[in-house]
Structure 1
Amino acid sequence: MDAGSAAFAANAAAMEAALAPVLAVREAVEAAAEAVRARYAKRGQVLPRARLALLLDPGAPWLELCPYAGWKRYGDKDGTGAGAGAIAGIGRIEGRSCVVVIDNFAVKGGTVTPDGLAKKLRLQEVARENRLPLVSLSQSGGANLQYAHEVFIPGGRGFANQARLSALGIPQVTLVHGSATAGGAYQPGLSDYVIMVRGQATMYLAGPPLLKAATGEVATDEELGGAAMHTQVSGVGDYLAEDDADGIRLARAVIAALPWPRDEGPGVVEAPLFPATDLMGLVPADPRQPYDCREIVARLVDGSAFLDFKPEYDAATVCGHARIEGHAIGLIGNNGPITAPGAAKAGQFIQLCDQAGIPLLFLHNTTGFLVGTEPERAGIIKHGSKMIQAVANARVPKISVVVGGSYGAGNYAMCGRGFDPRFLFAWPNARTSVMGPAQAGQVMRIVTEAAMARAGAVDAAKLDALEQGTAAMLAEATTALASSARLEDDGIIDPRQTRDILGLVLGLIATEGARITRPSTFGVARL
Structure 2
Amino acid sequence: MTALETTLDPRDPAYLEGRSATLQLLAELEAVLDQARGGGGEKWVTRHHARGKLLPRERIEMLLDQDSPFLELAPAAARGSEYPPGASVVTGVGVVEGVECVVIANDPTVDGGAVNPYTAEKIRRAARIGSVNRLPLINLVESVGESKPGGGIARELSRLTADRVPTVCVIFGVTTGDAAYLPALSDYTIMVRGHAKVLTIHPQPVRGTANGHAGVDVRATPVVPAGPAGPADQLAEDERDGLRLARQCVRRLNWRKHGPLPRTAYPLPPRYDAEDLLTLAAAEPAAFEPREVLARILDDSDFDEFKPGSTATTLVAGWGELHGYPVGVLATPSAVCSAAEAQKAVHFLHLANATATPLLFLRHVGTLPGEDSEAPDARHDAPLVHAVAKSAVPHLVLSVGTAACDLVDRPDEPRFQFSWPAAGRTPADDGVIDPRDTRTVLGLCLSAVHSAAVEGAGHVGVFRP
TM-score range, shorter chain: 0.7 to 0.9
* 1:26 matched residue in structure 2: 33
Residue 312 (structure 1) aligns with: 309
1:407 shift after superposition? 1.1
Q: 2:127 aligned with 1:124, yes or no?
A: yes
In structure 1, the residue matched to 2:209 is none
Report what 1:49 is aligned to: 57
Q: What is the rounded CA distance, in whole Å, between the counterparts of 1:372 and 1:396 in structure 2?
A: 34
| Matched residue type, 1:37 | V
Please name the residue that 1:502 is paired with.
442
Answering whether residue 10 of structure 2 is matched by residue 3 of structure 1, we say yes
Question: What SS does structure 2 have at the residue aligned with 1:428?
Answer: coil
Q: Give yes or no for contact 1:94–1:256 (8 Å, CA) kept in 2.
A: yes
Q: Which moved more, 1:160-169 or 1:365-374?
A: 365-374
Greater mean alpha carbon deviation, residues 88-97 or residues 183-192: 183-192
Higher helix share: 1
**SS of 1:407's equivalent?**
coil
* Residues 334 and 168 (structure 1), Cα distance of their counterparts in 2 relative to 1, 3 Å cut: closer
CA contact (8 A) 1:290 1:336 kept: no
Aligned counterpart, 1:326: 324
Cα separation, 1, equivalents of 2:328 and 2:178: 43
Structure 2-normalised TM-score? 0.86
Structure 1: segments with no counterpart, 5+ residues = 211-219, 431-479, 515-527
**Cα distance between partner residues in 2 of 1:233 and 1:12:** 60
1:58 aligns with 2:57: no
TM-score, normalised with respect to structure 1: 0.76
- Cα distance, 1:501 vs structure 2: 0.9
State the identity as a percent.
34
Q: Based on CA coordinates, which of the two structures has the bigger radius of gyration? A: 1
Match of 2:155 in 1: 160
How many positions carry a matched residue from both structures?
A: 427
For residues 122 and 203 of structure 2, what CA distance do their matches in structure 1 show? 30
Structure 2: gaps (5+ residues): 1-7, 206-218, 455-465
Q: Give the equivalent residue in structure 2 for 1:471.
A: none
For the 8 Å contact 1:181–1:203, the answer to whether it is kept is yes
Q: Secondary structure at the match of 2:186?
A: coil
Aligned partners of 1:347 and 1:262: how far apart in 2? Answer: 30
Which residue identity is paired with 1:60? S
CA–CA distance in 1 between the matches of 2:422 and 2:177? 42
Aligned counterparts of 1:37 and 1:162: Cα–Cα separation in 2: 29
1:269 deviates by 0.4
Note the C-alpha offset of 1:138: 0.4
- 1:397/1:93 CA distance change after superposition, 3 Å: same
CA contact (8 A) 2:333 2:363 kept: no
Contact kept, 8 Å, 2:365 with 2:403, in 1: the verdict is yes
- Structure 1 stretch displaced more, 330-339 or 100-109: 330-339
* CA shift in 2, pair 1:242/1:341, >3 Å: same
Displacement after TM superposition at 1:29 (Å): 2.1
Q: How does 1:198-347 map to 2 (within 5 A)?
A: 198-206=193-201, 224-228=223-227, 232-234=228-230, 236-261=231-256, 267-284=265-282, 287=284, 289-313=286-310, 314-337=312-335, 338-347=337-346
Residue 142 of structure 2 corresponds to 139
Q: Does 1:391 align with 2:388?
A: yes
> Secondary structure of 1:237's partner?
coil
Aligned: 1:426 with 2:433? no
How much has 1:33 moved relative to structure 2?
Answer: 4.5
Q: Is the 8 A contact 2:75 2:90 kept in 1?
A: yes
Indicate if the aligned counterparts of 1:398 and 1:421 stay in contact, CA closer than 8 A: yes
- Cα deviation 1:214-272 (Å, max 9, x = unaligned): xxxxxx967743312xxx124x1111111111111111111111111279786200111
Task: Note if contact 1:86-1:104 (Cα within 8 Å) is conserved in structure 2.
Answer: yes
**1:416 deviation in Å?**
3.8
- Once residues 54 and 45 of structure 1 are traced to their aligned partners in structure 2, the CA distance between those partners, rounded to angstroms, is 13
CA contact (8 A) 2:141 2:170 kept: yes
Deviation at 1:340, TM superposition (A): 2.6
Distance in 2 (CA, whole Å) between partners of 1:396 and 1:68 is 29
Q: Secondary structure at the match of 2:296?
A: coil
Supply the distance in 1 between the matched residues of 2:166 and 2:282 (Cα, whole angstroms). 45
Shift of 1:24: 0.6
The letter for the 2-side match of 1:95 is G
